[in-house]
Structure 1
Amino acid sequence: MLFQRPLHSLERRVLRGHNLPVVDEANFHKDAREVPADRQAIPQDDIEEIWQLGEKLYASGMHPMVSICLRRGGDMLLNRCIGYAGDFDAPQPRPATLDTPVCLFSASKVVAAALIHKLAEEGKINLLHPVSYYIPQFAQGGKANITIYQLLCHRAGVPGVPDDVPVETLYDTEKTLEIICRQKALDIDGRVVAYHALTGGFILAELVRVVTGLDINQYNDKVFRKPLGMDYFSFGLPESVHHKAAENLVTGLPNIGPVGWQLEKILGAKVDAAVEISNKPEFLSAQVPSGNLYATAEEACRFFEMLVDNGQWQGKSVMSPLTVNQLTREAAPPQFDRSLVFPVRYSAGAMLGGRVFGMFGRHSPNAFGHIGFSNIFCWADPQRELSVAILTSGKPVIGSHLGSMLRLIDTVNQYCYPCVDMEEWRSQRPSYDAAR
């Protein structure tokens, strides 16, 4: 395998594409555990075409690293990685491998939400109780009656921190929590949908601490990381493995005008500054539950495979089917999101697919998962018996990658066609009594 990116030098400069060396077989990795696709009645050529689109995504110049893992019916049909993980200015950049942990950014939210649902499963919290029942200071600013469920659905009314709060404040959990709790709610009844890019995770982590005495990583170790056999899969990374993490790179057109302003409002910093911060040791070590879970593509896919299998992983019950149902079922029809400025369909912790088109491609009404800044897609689709993680380390918003990314997601849905009767699938879910 040897190819050149189809970008001309002028186009590369305008779109801020990377100038990394041509990728050859030394910088391409394929998992020996991949299963022949015909076990899932899919031609192997279809899987190879999906990967070729991943290669084109790398060739766009927008992503120094592309890693994709795809499971169908529990079989890992694809787990491959291409590109470079860091030291981009060095004569020989650091190659990416299947073991390179990538920051999932906002895709971390599903894991944080799942931990809260697990607390509910264990009887430690009630999702319909006000957040202030557990965290009294959250009652300030008209938030006294905002429930945990509304917080998980981005209806808590505190989508961001004030503009004058330095991003570095996010490393101080107590200070950040104090700032969030003091804020006035957008709506005291939780009727306004506004994506909580960072704020929600700090409240969820405090809920974990209040009711368990553990920090969110300690609880995550107990609930997901160890039972699923993960090496990374943590909010932040130990300093001893910082050097393994994929570095994020600013690419794509400069984010100016209304697009830049809106992104700055969501991220709490200008895009270029946010990317720079994400590579700093302080961010790598911090626990930012809404935005810095580190995992490989295979680990992220493994988590969603557990969800699509009703909470089971290799014969072990990690979550009850009822808990998975509560995490993934629609909270409300698509509604205009005041932060993202377009309609979004949410569950209590995940973004959901759409009948015509949605976050996870066309004709994916049963899909659930999350996207991460800016081209990270992690999702599962029970109708297709599918779990997918597409991890990248470039951070373009508008760039030459868009066509390749859209085609990649659409091709996954096309070749991994629906194979499950969803009415029958839902009817087979255990009853409340059986799930206890």
Structure 2
Amino acid sequence: MPVTPSANKICKAIFRAPTLSPTATNSLIIDPAEQPIDCGDIEAIWASAEALHNSGMHPMVSMCLRYKGKTVLHRSIGQARGLNNETPVGAQLDTPVCLFSASKVVSAVLIHKLAEDGLLNLLNPVSYYIPAFAQNGKASISIYQLLAHRAGVPGVPPGTSPSILFDPQESLRLICEQPPLDNDGRVLAYHAITGGIIAAELVRVCTGLTMNEYLDRVIRKPMGFKSFTFGMPKSSRGSEAQNYISGLPSVSMLGRHLEKILGANVDSVVDISNTDEFLDAIIPAGNLYANADEACQFFQMLLQKGEWHGKQILSPLLVYRLTSEASRPQHDRSLGVPMRYSAGAMLGGRVFGLYGRNTPYAFGHLGFSNIFCWADPERDIAVSLLNNGKPVLGSHMFHLLGLTENIRKCFPQKSDMSGWSGSFGQHELSPS
């Protein structure tokens, strides 16, 4: 049921919502004759995105959607910066947004690329490359288990200052000293930040490069991206969307649970994300900046088994390893709900999943808060939904469900998926 304007006013009075100035929608003009899908369906999807913005929980919403390789929707609405009666800065199509945890797919691709190039083996222990990681029973934890959230070190010790994010070596030391939840990697527990810190060290040990330098080499420059960096370079500082606190105060059980996962309360995380220290840092699990089109292009490239504009960015075998189910859905000790992961991505569900109903082939990642980036081979779509409001609980939740449901209904499922799941034959597996 649609939310009426009066109901929206009530929602905004109950839930914290930044004060907005009137803003317009920026849209990529697409010739209706070039649309591979009914324009009415596209407008229905965008209406759901507009409702998400109008809820007041997300000052800016930027969305890009590709179908059969073609852009069918690319629009931004709202304010990127300058809220609460400050000078407003409207959201542009190319406004970079922090992807937060959706960054994990990108950092995982870099680890898979190390394996593809023979610089590491995913089945080797992490401690083979980082000897200090073997401390307190972690000697047999593999890189594959790390990517699949089974390394047993989902967070830093309680009471650790959030500023540890800005000291990679101290963060690494704390993680290496911790005993795991299970010595053999049998416990599933979402690693919000720690997995990325280990990944950055693996890249450094194997290549001598920082995560951004390796990202430039593997993804950013080959795909011609303008942003798509961990952190924001000073030369581009000020162009990114600023993050804003919204929704119910994080004093609920869910808020306390998120505080345990993130290592700080939600409001503090939002405040930290707008600091120069955060923008200067390389946080592979949580601070990749990209605009909606770049995020969508990245997932479209994965949907095309590593190919982009005639170039093989990644091998089909790498994409297969990245997106294949690591195990059946299992209770996640950190998130408190059943989750289905691959070695680097959050996967969709056979009945209901993160990307809507009946999305068993979908792969992608969510980011704090309500950032969605995914591809669904069964529907031949790649989607990015970015925002800068950070509610835990708020009036936006039904709109999110409506958005994913509209996408599911608009794009028919293929009856035969052998073209995706059964075509990683040897003749396709070597990069050109």
Deviates more, 1:425-434 or 1:273-282: 425-434
Letter in 1 for 2:227: Y
Structure 1 residue 205 corresponds to structure 2 residue 200 = yes
Q: How far apart, CA to CA, are the structure 2 residues paired with 1:35 and 1:345? A: 38
Going from structure 1 to structure 2, the CA distance change for 1:367 and 1:298 (only over 3 Å counts) comes to: same
Deviation, 1:5, is 5.5
Contact 2:8 2:55 in 1 (8 A): no
Going from structure 1 to structure 2, the CA distance change for 1:124 and 1:163 (only over 3 Å counts) comes to: same
Contact 1:346 1:352 in 2 (8 A): yes
Contact 2:8 2:54 in 1 (8 A): no
Contact 1:57 1:404 in 2 (8 A): yes
1:125 corresponds in structure 2 to 120
2:426 aligns with one of 417, 427, 431: 431
2:14 corresponds in structure 1 to 14
Letter in 2 for 1:31: L
2:173 corresponds in structure 1 to 178
Deviation, 1:364, is 0.4
Structure 1 residue 305 corresponds to structure 2 residue 277 = no
SS class of match (1:244): coil
Q: How far apart, CA to CA, are the structure 1 residues paired with 2:423 and 2:286? A: 34
Question: What is the 5 A alignment of 1:210-359?
Answer: 210-359=205-354
SS class of match (2:56): coil
Deviates more, 1:295-304 or 1:13-22: 13-22
Q: How far apart, CA to CA, are the structure 2 residues paired with 1:94 and 1:139? A: 49
Contact 1:379 1:387 in 2 (8 A): yes
2:32 aligns with one of 9, 14, 36: 36
Contact 1:108 1:292 in 2 (8 A): yes
SS class of match (1:435): coil
Contact 2:12 2:55 in 1 (8 A): no
Q: How far apart, CA to CA, are the structure 1 residues paired with 2:164 and 2:419? A: 49
1:70 corresponds in structure 2 to 65
Deviation, 1:31, is 1.4
Letter in 2 for 1:85: A
**Alpha-carbon deviations, 1:153-189, whole Å to 9, x = none?**
0000000001221001110111111111111111000
TM-score by length of 2: 0.96
SS class of match (2:390): coil
**Alpha-carbon deviations, 1:110-155, whole Å to 9, x = none?**
0000110111111111000000000000001111000000000000
Q: How far apart, CA to CA, are the structure 2 residues paired with 1:97 and 1:319? A: 30
1:166 corresponds in structure 2 to 161
2:391 aligns with one of 376, 396, 400: 396
SS class of match (1:16): coil
Going from structure 1 to structure 2, the CA distance change for 1:20 and 1:236 (only over 3 Å counts) comes to: same
SS class of match (2:191): coil
Letter in 1 for 2:287: N
Q: How far apart, CA to CA, are the structure 2 residues paired with 1:35 and 1:197? A: 41
Question: What is the 5 A alignment of 1:181-192?
Answer: 181-192=176-187
**Alpha-carbon deviations, 1:14-47, whole Å to 9, x = none?**
2012220233xxx311113x3538642x211100
SS class of match (2:383): strand
Letter in 2 for 1:13: A
**Alpha-carbon deviations, 1:164-219, whole Å to 9, x = none?**
21001110111111111111111000000000000000000100000001011000
**Alpha-carbon deviations, 1:51-75, whole Å to 9, x = none?**
1111111100000000000001100
Give me the identity figure in percent: 54
Going from structure 1 to structure 2, the CA distance change for 1:376 and 1:5 (only over 3 Å counts) comes to: farther
**Alpha-carbon deviations, 1:60-91, whole Å to 9, x = none?**
00000000000011000000000001111344
Q: How far apart, CA to CA, are the structure 2 residues paired with 1:113 and 1:35? A: 36
Going from structure 1 to structure 2, the CA distance change for 1:336 and 1:37 (only over 3 Å counts) comes to: farther
Structure 1 residue 411 corresponds to structure 2 residue 403 = no
Going from structure 1 to structure 2, the CA distance change for 1:189 and 1:108 (only over 3 Å counts) comes to: same
Deviation, 1:93, is 1.1
Q: How far apart, CA to CA, are the structure 2 residues paired with 1:73 and 1:429? A: 19
Deviates more, 1:397-406 or 1:425-434: 425-434
Going from structure 1 to structure 2, the CA distance change for 1:326 and 1:35 (only over 3 Å counts) comes to: farther
Q: How far apart, CA to CA, are the structure 2 residues paired with 1:228 and 1:428? A: 24
Contact 2:11 2:55 in 1 (8 A): no
Going from structure 1 to structure 2, the CA distance change for 1:20 and 1:126 (only over 3 Å counts) comes to: same
Deviation, 1:423, is 2.2
Q: How far apart, CA to CA, are the structure 2 residues paired with 1:28 and 1:258? A: 36
Going from structure 1 to structure 2, the CA distance change for 1:425 and 1:320 (only over 3 Å counts) comes to: same
Q: How far apart, CA to CA, are the structure 1 residues paired with 2:280 and 2:403? A: 32
1:59 corresponds in structure 2 to 54
Going from structure 1 to structure 2, the CA distance change for 1:248 and 1:405 (only over 3 Å counts) comes to: same
Q: How far apart, CA to CA, are the structure 2 residues paired with 1:420 and 1:244? A: 43
Q: How far apart, CA to CA, are the structure 1 residues paired with 2:264 and 2:317? A: 38
Letter in 2 for 1:360: Y
Going from structure 1 to structure 2, the CA distance change for 1:432 and 1:343 (only over 3 Å counts) comes to: farther
Going from structure 1 to structure 2, the CA distance change for 1:434 and 1:180 (only over 3 Å counts) comes to: closer
SS class of match (1:289): coil
Task: Give the superposed CA RMSD.
Answer: 1.5
Q: How far apart, CA to CA, are the structure 1 residues paired with 2:428 and 2:398? A: 48
Contact 2:243 2:273 in 1 (8 A): yes
SS class of match (1:226): helix
Residue ranges of structure 2 left out of the alignment (5+ in a row): none
Letter in 1 for 2:16: R
Deviation, 1:430, is 2.8
